[in-house]
Every structure is written in structure tokens, then in C-alpha cells.
Amino acid sequence: MAVANGVPREYRVTLDRVRDWSSDTRSLFLRLPADSPLVFDPGQFVSLALPAGDRPPLVRAYSLASSPEDGALEICVDRVPGGEGSGYLFGLLPGDEVVLTGPFGSFKLAEPPPTPLVFIAQGTGIAPVRPMVRRALATGDQPIVVLQGGNAATPMVYAAEFVELASANPRMRWESVLAVAGTAAADNPQLERIVRERYVEADDERARHFWICAVGALATRLRDLLRGAGYERRAVRCEKW
Amino acid sequence: MLRIRICYESGDPERTIEFDPAAAPFSHDGEPGSILDVLLGHGIHLEHACGGKCACTTCHVILKDGEEHLSEQQEEEADELDNAPGLTMHSRLGCQAVVTGDLTIVIPKYTINQA
């Protein structure tokens, strides 16, 4: 079947298996029909039409944590208290089907620019970063930094894999940045401080490219901090969940 | 009561809805009182692949009249709109533009969802 590159279309996918990171964070592995590849760029998301809520379908977007080369699609889902979409997804069993449309989104990395790359994520915001880092490692030779924010109460998803990638690739550095106890899950003042000290105050280098993925105001603050410090608007890419 | 007149580039028959902005939100998705929220809550379909989170451009609408009756465009909306097919000087994202007065909008024939 001929598939135009990256043009969104509808797919009926099957839940193959799950991986539980904690009781409230789960990866879902979705199998595409054999004759329907989904062509996407690392960092993009799919849109799920769920038979949930008081006016179905409930449309919910999830970043792909898998690489285009992986075959199966992986999404990483946080259970939201009272959330109809995440509640439905946590109730799915292997073999169940879901309808999705994709790919979508301009928060992506298809061909890495030849500048230092900095990825900043909080919580499961690391999901779209994972395939982007893999792509950058496979195609470029520039320095790569991954700042993975989290807190003691939530799992650091994919951290073991990042540690392994960093030890195998001297040009890549991975750091976990844990917020102090009591900080709201979506916030991370430590992460903001490190970004400010390192990429705003420490030097005048402004050629770096950033990808930021976090929930709500933290994403916006990080974006504004970097753009306000003189980085090109389009070199500071931000996805706010 | 505020009024939105909805025209379709595809030639589908236009619709008009009236609503009380104080009753927002009308649906699950988009900013409360946004074009997306109002339309969905009144049974009018508007694509919103990201769930109304300003992460795609599928709810792109073009203002024909009443553009000043919308909330001011924020940076994230401008960032996303840059990627909308058929972008015009009067384009907004339905999920972000909160309605404060009467409007006439055009729903483009091709959003990225149908490209």
C-alpha cells in the first residue's frame, strides 16, 4: 500500500502488551495492521478517538515514545485522577483495539541541526524526547544533553536506557534532575535553575537548539527563559501538555 | 447572548449558533469559551486532533468578521499556526481563541488532518 510520507490518516491498532512503570504510569505497545505502516518523525504524536466520556469520541493526544524504526507504537500514559481518557486506556487489555489518527505535531526532530542539542523534559514529557535522542545519535556528531526532570514520587521512565546510551556515546550526557519533596508533580524549580545557570548565565553561546516538553506553566517558563535570553525562537521548540 | 456564524470553504450549508459565554465550558476540549469549545458544545464538528491543547493545527479557522472579538493570540498559538496549511492573516486556532463578541468564521476545506 502506498503511504504518503507523514500524512495523517486513521489506523485501527491492537494493544499488544503493557509495561507498568508504576501503578499510575504505563506504556502501551500498539500493533499496527500488517499492511499499514505509520510514517512519522521522532517527537510526533497520535490522536486517539476513545469511546469514553459523556460525548464520545473523546479525543486525546499521546506522543510516540517509540522510534519510527521500532515497528510497534509505544505511548506512555499517566493516570489522571478522574481522567476519562487515561482511565479508559488503563482499562484496556491485550487484544483490545483502539482507533487513532496520526502523525501530528511540529515538535519533532527529523534531521538534527549541526549544533549542540539540549532536551529538557519533566515526567512523562520525556516520551517524545526518547525517539528524538535516538535519531540524533544515529545521524549526527554534535553534543547532546538530556535533562530529565522528575520527582521522588514518580517513575523516571526510560532512565536506564538513557544511562546506557550515554555510556556508549561520549558526546551524549544524561542527567536526572529531581525536584525537592513537596513540589507539585508538574513543577521543577531545580530544573529551571540548572537551565538558567547553564544556558543563560554561564556563557554567550546562543547556537544551541532546545526541545522542551513538560506540563503547563513549566514548559512556558522554560521556553520564555531561553527565548528571552537570545536564543532563536525557532531553535527553542516547546511542547506543553 | 453571542452569535457565531460558521461558513464552510467546502460549500456545506452555513450554520449560526447563539450561546451564553457565562455558561462555558460547553465541552471537554479547548480553552473554556473558545471557538472549539463553543462549537463542540453545540453539536458542530471541528477537528481537534490534539484534544484542544494547542499542539496541532487541525482546529484552524479563518475569521471573516469579528476578529477583534477574540482573546489575544499567545505565543504558543502563533508557534503552532506557523505550521497550518492555508495560513492567512486572519487565521486562529479554534481551541485557543476565546469568543468575546459576535463572529463569522470560515472552516477551511483542508486541515492537516485531511491533507
Closest partner residue to A47 (CB to CB) among B40, B49, B83 is B49
Query: What pLDDT was estimated at residue A36?
Result: 86
Q: What is the CATH number of the domain that holds A166?
A: 3.40.50.80
Mean per-residue pLDDT, B23-45:
95
For residues A38 and A148, state if they share a domain: no
Is the pLDDT confidence value at A4 over 80?
no
**Cβ-based neighbours of B51, under 8 Å, separated by 6 or more:** A47, A59, A60, A61, A85, B28, B29
Query: What pLDDT was estimated at residue A31?
Result: 97
Write out pLDDT tens, residues A13-26: 999 999 999 999 99
CATH architecture of B2-114: Roll (3.10)
ipTM for the predicted complex comes to 0.74
Quick check: is A110 in a domain? no
Quick check: is A77 in a domain? yes
Nearest-Cα distance to chain B for A232, in Å, is: 13
pLDDT band at A6 (very low <50, low <70, confident <90, very high): low
Quick check: is A111 in a domain? no
Mean per-residue pLDDT, A72-87:
94
Q: Provide the percentage of residues in chain B whose pLDDT is more than 70.
A: 95
Quick check: is A45 in a domain? yes
Quick check: is A216 in a domain? yes
In the listed set A78, A104, A130, which residue is the last one of a domain according to the structure? A104
**Cβ-based neighbours of B40, under 8 Å, separated by 6 or more:** A55, B26, B27, B28, B29, B30, B46, B48
Write out pLDDT tens, residues A94-104: 999 999 999 99
Note which residues in 81-140 of chain A have CB less than 8 A from chain B.
Answer: 84-85, 101-102, 104-107
Edge-to-edge strand ranges of the sheet holding B91-93 = B15-19, B2-8, B103-107, B60-65, B91-93
For residues A65 and A32, state if they share a domain: yes
Mean per-residue pLDDT, A206-229:
95
Mean per-residue pLDDT, B78-99:
92
Note which residues in 12-71 of chain B have CB less than 8 A from chain A.
Answer: 27-29, 40, 48-56, 58
Rounded to the nearest angstrom, the gap between the alpha carbon of residue A87 and the centroid of all alpha carbons in its chain is: 20
CB pairs < 8 Å spanning A and B: 62
pTM for this one? 0.88
Closest partner residue to B112 (CB to CB) among A8, A61, A107 is A8
Mean per-residue pLDDT, A107-115:
94
The C-alpha atoms of residue A124 and residue A156 are separated, in whole angstroms, by 8
Is the pLDDT confidence value at A3 over 90?
no
Mutation choice for A interface testing from B26, B28, B48 by most A CBs within 10 A? B28
Number of folded domains that form chain A: 2
The residue range of the domain holding A189 is 117-240
The C-alpha atoms of residue A122 and residue A147 are separated, in whole angstroms, by 8
pLDDT band at B111 (very low <50, low <70, confident <90, very high): low
Is the pLDDT confidence value at B30 over 90?
yes
Quick check: is A35 in a domain? yes
